[in-house]
């Protein structure tokens, strides 16, 4: 099937192999409290009918529910399912920190405006809370089911009360020797104000009294997980675990000797992560970000998690002290709080409960030891598909050779996120030490990586690298490396563009695309881009092929979607295929709807948030929306335009979100080599035909997982692994034959 064709949409249902969920059917999840009926065909005005657009926050919650569903899927190895539960828990923490935190800031600022889907900040918070509470029991049931299955594999979570006396003594000794010194109790009484509660901390609220006295007092004890203590304490090497907080609760006499322990309850808090100050008023951006990080530590709390049955007085007091609405902002958790800590269990060395390790292969053109610059120059452009093809032997090699090649004069690079011990940074430092001119644009405001990026920036500056922090008021989110080399015919530009970060760890976990190119126009455009990033001056920037945001990209995307609408005919139908992480920008959504009304066939491969509602008669019947959730996090951005047969394909760093298109420096670039275009089209087609990892949205905003027959289990990610290995082996055999032929000629 060609990319210009598409089978009719098919409604998928659960099969007998689908796991039983404790509550709602996870294979038919809803976008809000109840199914959202499609707008009437007579009421399709974009400006007056908010039902045409879905809510960004709720569709993101739907995505996280799809991640959580992976923890229930029996086709996935058990520890991989535990990993998905941990990821879903971590995602939810960040959602409250970033999205709920941001909405609460809007409320505090008196914002009353509505989103394109017709919701005020208050209405969005209410809808999100309803969603979270609705799926809480399902999530708790999933975790209990995982432990039940783990127990069959001799991995157990043991209630402390059921332990033998000798086992309790062993845990007490381990706790006393290795963890107890990290614990600091804090009284809560008139002489001691309510203590500071750190973000994502798990805490014990202890009720005490002196012997033979009636007066109670309270103390707070933080569970020192952030200090390096394990959340799951193991009994020897038995793979039998007890939650650390349960061990602490059973041994409070060590903290409060001679006191009577009346009760112990658990609670956990989440703080707002949105504390950025107005960058344009800062004299020193580095100092501003450092100040913001300090502010984040003390930012307002947005969520309190407690056990069911907590003393109502204690629950009310906690809510009051933390400045929360007890009815709205307090969430009961029946079971384990802080699901992100399940990573400790997911990392157990039990290979039979995990997927086989994935090892990226080398790109076929990079198997030889010849100069990577000669290879790129000969090929013109190389398409890199991560994590199927190696980041180390392509991107890191590109920088490594640039650092040591005597013909290389300079390196320029953007850095948004990178690994803690980054080879990328090492290569840049070596380049500077070898006399190359090295300039790096570091984004200090990459959320949750600010401290790491400050350290890296200081480290690189000490090595003589010219470090800048981008454009005031804009995040630098594009991923570009420019290498300037003195070739035989003059100074030439070699460029790497990527859809993902220069991060060696996520390059093995995220599905991304890169392009190594010798294209002269793209090289000139990259030079223009870096001149803009290091100066902020915008006049008369002349880009030949690159589409940068915020000045150009959105206008061009809208124009190209409109062009698709205009060139569409019955004989030669228009075609749009967009793959991205999120589709939120209202103007882009309206343009897509108009194209669909004209009959253009639209496929949207959107990982998480998506405002578009497919299948509405008279509006979006020709639109299909799918989401792929699998072993690797889908992170690539691809924009395909049929263009009346003169097809165009773009890759880049930008999602179709207002923040990306209007408030960040992003780039899209055309892929023009016919061979590479064919490869990208095949990449998209495999994803559209995926029968294993795809969830498809219907007109009521329900996502349903495709449930194929046993003989039709195509997984796009597994297929890419197979294809990458096949390309690598074929290239290896070809090189071997060429080497043998050369050897035979020499012998003759």
pLDDT at 14: 33
In the structure, what pLDDT confidence band is assigned to residue 285 with cuts at 50, 70 and 90? low
Q: Looking at the domain that runs over 364-544, which CATH code has it been given?
A: 3.30.870.10
Q: 744 pLDDT exceeds 90?
A: no
Q: Looking at the domain that runs over 548-727, which CATH code has it been given?
A: 3.30.870.10
Residue with tokens 């590109």: 398
Helix and strand element counts for the chain (H, E)? 20, 28
pLDDT at 51: 83
Residue range 93-115, pLDDT digits in tens: 999 999 999 999 999 999 989 99
pLDDT at 693: 95
Q: Is the peptide bond before 550 cis (omega within 30 degrees of 0)?
A: yes
**Among candidate residues 427, 386, 641, 395, the one with its CA nearest the CA of residue 495:** 395
Structure tokens at 474: 């804009």
Q: Where are the domains of the chain?
A: 28-121, 158-285+299-350, 364-544, 548-727
Sequence-distant (6+) residues with CB within 8 A of 431 are 399, 402, 403, 408, 411, 438
Residue with tokens 């038919």: 28
303 strand-pairing partners: 270
Phi/psi at 452 (5° precision): -60, -40
Residue range 649-663, pLDDT digits in tens: 999 999 999 999 999
This prediction's pTM: 0.92
Residue range 302-314, pLDDT digits in tens: 999 999 999 999 9
Residue range 590-637, pLDDT digits in tens: 999 999 999 999 999 999 999 999 999 999 999 999 999 999 999 999
pLDDT at 747: 67
Q: 451 pLDDT exceeds 90?
A: no
pLDDT at 226: 80
* Three-state SS annotation for 359-390: CCECCHHHCCCCCHHHHHHHHCEEEEEECCEC
Structure tokens at 559: 């124009």
471 near 535, Cβ under 8 Å? no
Residue range 552-589, pLDDT digits in tens: 999 999 999 999 999 999 999 999 999 999 999 999 99
Question: Of 32 and 360, which is predicted with more confidence?
Answer: 360
**Among candidate residues 707, 700, 643, 706, the one with its CA nearest the CA of residue 677:** 643
pLDDT at 316: 96
Count of Cβ atoms closer than 10 Å to residue 94 Cβ:
17
pLDDT at 38: 61
pLDDT at 9: 40
Question: Of 86 and 710, which is predicted with more confidence?
Answer: 86
pLDDT at 10: 38
Euclidean distance between CA atoms 180 and 248, whole angstroms: 9
Q: Which position among 363, 477, 503, 635 bears the catalytic label?
A: 477
Euclidean distance between CA atoms 612 and 699, whole angstroms: 9
Whether 363 sits among the annotated catalytic residues: the reply is no
**Among candidate residues 247, 251, 219, the one with its CA nearest the CA of residue 235:** 247
pLDDT at 739: 73
Q: Looking at the domain that runs over 28-121, which CATH code has it been given?
A: 1.20.58.310
Euclidean distance between CA atoms 591 and 583, whole angstroms: 12
* Three-state SS annotation for 179-247: CHHHCCEEEEECCECCCCCCCCCEEEEEEEECCCCCCCEEEEEECHHHHCCCCEEECCCCCEEEEHHHH
Rg of the Cα atoms in the chain: 28
Give the DSSP per-residue string, 481-508: EEEEEEETTEEEEEEEEESS-S-TTGGG
Average pLDDT value for the chain: 90
Do the first three CATH levels of 364-544 and 548-727 match, i.e. the same topology?
yes
At 490, is the secondary structure helix, strand, or coil?
A: strand
Domain 158-285+299-350: which topology? polyphosphate kinase like (3.30.1840)
Euclidean distance between CA atoms 206 and 251, whole angstroms: 12
At 538, is the secondary structure helix, strand, or coil?
A: coil
In the structure, what pLDDT confidence band is assigned to residue 1 with cuts at 50, 70 and 90? low
């Amino acid at each position: 099937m060609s990319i210009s064709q598409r089978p009719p949409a098919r409604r998928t249902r659960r099969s007998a192999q689908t796991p039983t969920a404790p509550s709602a059917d996870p294979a038919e999840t809803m976008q809000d409290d109840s199914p959202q009926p499609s707008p009437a065909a007579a009421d399709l005005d974009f400006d007056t009918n908010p039902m045409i657009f879905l809510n960004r926050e709720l569709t993101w919650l739907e995505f996280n529910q799809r991640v959580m569903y992976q923890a229930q899927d029996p086709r996935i190895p058990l520890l991989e399912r535990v990993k998905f539960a941990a990821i879903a828990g971590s995602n939810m923490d960040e959602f409250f920190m970033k999205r709920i935190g941001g909405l609460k800031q809007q409320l505090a600022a008196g914002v009353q405006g509505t989103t394109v889907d017709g919701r005020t900040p208050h209405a969005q918070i209410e809808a999100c809370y309803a969603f979270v509470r609705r799926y809480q029991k399902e999530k708790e049931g999933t975790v209990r089911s995982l432990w039940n299955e783990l127990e069959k594999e001799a991995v157990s979570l043991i209630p402390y009360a059921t332990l033998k006396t000798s086992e309790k003594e062993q845990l007490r000794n381990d706790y006393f020797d290795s963890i107890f010194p990290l614990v600091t109790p804090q009284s809560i009484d008139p002489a001691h104000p309510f203590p500071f509660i750190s973000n994502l901390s798990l805490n014990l609220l202890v009720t005490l009294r002196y012997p033979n006295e009636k007066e109670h007092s309270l103390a707070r004890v933080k569970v020192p997980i952030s200090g390096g203590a394990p959340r799951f304490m193991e009994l020897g090497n038995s793979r039998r675990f007890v939650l650390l907080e349960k061990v602490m609760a059973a041994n409070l006499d060590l903290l409060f000797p001679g006191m009577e322990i009346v009760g112990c309850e658990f609670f956990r808090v989440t703080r707002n992560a949105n504390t950025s100050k107005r960058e344009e008023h800062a004299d020193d951006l580095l100092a501003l970000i450092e100040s913001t990080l300090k502010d984040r530590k003390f930012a307002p709390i947005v969520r309190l998690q407690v056990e069911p049955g907590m003393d109502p007085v204690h629950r009310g007091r906690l809510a009051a002290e933390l400045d929360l609405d007890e009815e709205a902002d307090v969430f009961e958790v029946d079971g384990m709080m802080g699901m992100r800590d399940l990573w400790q269990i997911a990392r157990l060395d039990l290979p039979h409960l995990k997927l086989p390790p994935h090892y990226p292969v080398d790109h076929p053109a990079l198997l030889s030891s010849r100069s990577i610059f000669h290879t790129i120059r000969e090929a013109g452009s190389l398409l890199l598909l991560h994590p199927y093809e190696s980041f180390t032997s392509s991107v890191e090699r590109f920088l490594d050779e640039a650092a040591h090649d005597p013909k290389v004069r300079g390196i320029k690079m953007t850095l948004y996120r990178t690994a803690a011990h980054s080879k990328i940074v090492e290569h840049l430092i070596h380049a500077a030490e070898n006399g190359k001119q090295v300039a790096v644009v570091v984004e200090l405001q990459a959320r949750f990586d600010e401290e790491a990026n400050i350290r890296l920036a200081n480290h690189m500056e000490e090595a003589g690298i010219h470090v800048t922090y981008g454009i005031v008021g804009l995040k630098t989110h594009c991923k570009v490396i420019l290498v300037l080399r003195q070739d035989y015919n003059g100074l030439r530009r070699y460029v790497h563009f990527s859809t993902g970060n220069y991060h060696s760890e996520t390059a093995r976990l995220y599905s991304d695309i890169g392009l190594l190119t010798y294209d002269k126009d793209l090289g000139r455009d990259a030079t223009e881009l870096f001149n803009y990033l290091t100066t902020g001056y915008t006049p008369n920037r002349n880009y030949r092929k690159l589409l940068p945001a915020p000045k150009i990209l959105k206008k061009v995307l809208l124009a190209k979607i409109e062009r698709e609408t205009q060139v569409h005919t019955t004989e030669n139908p228009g075609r749009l295929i967009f793959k991205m992480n999120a589709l939120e920008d209202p103007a882009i959504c309206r343009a897509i709807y108009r194209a669909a009304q004209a009959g253009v066939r639209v496929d949207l491969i959107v990982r998480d948030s998506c405002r578009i509602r497919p299948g509405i008669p008279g509006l979006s019947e020709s639109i299909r929306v799918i989401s792929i959730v699998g072993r690797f996090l889908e992170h690539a951005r691809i924009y395909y335009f049929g263009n009346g047969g003169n097809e165009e394909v773009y890759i880049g760093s930008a999602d179709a979100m207002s923040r990306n298109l209007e408030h960040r420096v992003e780039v899209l670039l055309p892929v023009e080599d016919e061979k590479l275009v064919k490869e990208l089209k095949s990449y998209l087609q495999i994803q559209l035909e995926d029968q294993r990892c795809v969830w498809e949205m219907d007109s009521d905003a329900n996502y349903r997982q495709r449930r194929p027959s046993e003989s039709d289990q195509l997984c796009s990610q597994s297929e890419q692994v197979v294809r990458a290995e096949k390309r690598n082996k074929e290239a290896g055999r070809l090189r071997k034959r060429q080497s043998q032929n050369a050897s035979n000629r020499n012998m003759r």
